[in-house]
Amino acid sequence: MSGAVFAQQLVNGIMLGGIYMLIAVAFTLAIGVLNFLNFSIPGIFMVGAIATWRALENGWPWVGAIAAGLLAAGVASYLVERFTYRWMRGLDHEIPLVSSLGFLILFENLVLIGYGSDQQTFPALMPDFNIRVAGLVIGTGQLISLVLALVLVIAASGLLERTRIGRGIRAVAENADTATILGVEIHRVVPALFILIGLLSGVSGILFAMNYLQVSAFMGHEIGLKGIAAMVIGGMGNIWGAILGGLLIGLIEVLSIAFFGANRADICVYGALLLLLVVRPEGLLGGSAIVREKL
């Protein structure tokens, strides 16, 4: 592989990593604050994309369609909070985890009933043109996705660090009982966190659909697994670790396809995850940046 081709693959991997990064951050917020591995996130990712596609099919303008997709993702995430976490947070950690998995299956099967299992074509929302920089080809949609993902993560970091609700979220992350004694309104803070998780997941699903021009009921499965892998590689509970993990997963996947073929890409991605768990179980950055206020 020539140097130019290798550099192009690095660019492609970083662009793909932007989508994994958003999903990894969504998982990180759930587990870093609530100690809750939210398995419904891949389903919410899918709901955002499907709702946007359906609105476009009905003739909505793209701004309204995207708004509808984000609203659907936020509502779906709120339902998970209302009927999974809120009801079962006092029980063993495994119970809300399994219940969130039930929501994933529910979301997928509702879409399956409504639209079938076939992949649906997502209409192109922007002109298909590329930017050339020093011989490298950068897709406009991929670049917009990466920039938007970084902006959203930075905005979420600012929200958690500088706003009242963000301080409440960090207090809950450190100790929910102490936060309640200090006057934090958990019944408002936790739903707001779930809605934020839903919006990040929905944006990720919409960006994926815009870049790959397809949606389906099960589109969140592989992305969700890669998002969890990115979270673990970066360090569970660490937002900046999730960003790093997402970009690394994107790079590993693209480079493994280039060197070994598409059939071996998952072996390389999850092999890297297992190797890291052996060498550095806490992840590359480790620890909870949410609790330590290193956002």
**Which pLDDT score is estimated for 140?**
72
**Which pLDDT score is estimated for 173?**
67
**Which pLDDT score is estimated for 259?**
86
**How crowded is residue 112: how many other Cβ atoms within 10 Å of its Cβ?**
14
Output Rg (C-alpha) for the chain, integer angstroms: 19
Whole-model pTM: value is 0.87
Task: State how far the Cα of 51 lies from the Cα of 71, in Å rounded to an integer.
Answer: 9
pLDDT tens-digit series, residues 94-121: 677 788 999 999 999 999 999 998 899 9
Task: State how far the Cα of 237 lies from the Cα of 260, in Å rounded to an integer.
Answer: 32
**Which pLDDT score is estimated for 295?**
37
**Which pLDDT score is estimated for 292?**
47
Please report where in the chains the tokens 């209302």 appear, as a residue.
82
Contact 226, 20 (CB under 8 A): yes
Q: Is the dihedral of CA 283, 167, 202, 41 positive or negative?
A: positive
Which amino acid is located at 292 in the chain?
Answer: R
**Which pLDDT score is estimated for 146?**
82
> What is the three-state SS of 69-122?
HHHHHHHHHHHHHHHHHHHHCCCCCHHHHHHHHHHHHHHHHHHHHHHCCCCEEC
Q: What domains can you pick out in the chain, each with its CATH number?
A: 3-279 (1.10.3470)
Which amino acid is located at 54 in the chain?
Answer: R
Please report where in the chains the tokens 């998995």 appear, as a residue.
101
Q: How does pLDDT run along the chain (295 residues), one tens digit per residue? A: 566 677 888 888 888 888 899 999 999 988 887 778 899 999 999 999 999 999 999 999 999 999 999 999 999 999 999 888 777 666 666 677 788 999 999 999 999 999 998 899 999 876 666 677 666 777 777 777 788 888 888 888 787 777 777 777 777 766 667 777 767 777 788 888 899 999 999 999 999 998 889 999 999 999 999 999 999 998 887 888 889 999 999 999 999 998 888 888 899 999 989 998 888 888 888 755 554 443 3
DSSP-assigned states of every residue in the chain: --HHHHHHHHHHHHHHHHHHHHHHHHHHHHHHHH----TTHHHHHHHHHHHHHHHHHTT--HHHHHHHHHHHHHHHHHHHIIIIIHHHTTS-THHHHHHHHHHHHHHHHHHHHHH-SSPEEPPP-S---EEEETTEEEEHHHHHHHHHHHHHHHHHHHHHHHSHHHHHHHHHHH-HHHHHHTT--HHHHHHHHHHHHHHHHHHHHHHHHHHH-EE-TTTHHHHHHHHHHHHHHH-TT-HHHHHHHHHHHHHHHHHHHHHH-GGGHHHHHHHHHHHHHHH-TT-SS-S-TTTTT--
**Which pLDDT score is estimated for 195?**
93
Task: State how far the Cα of 64 lies from the Cα of 51, in Å rounded to an integer.
Answer: 11
**Which pLDDT score is estimated for 289?**
57
Task: State how far the Cα of 285 lies from the Cα of 85, in Å rounded to an integer.
Answer: 28
Contact 167, 192 (CB under 8 A): no
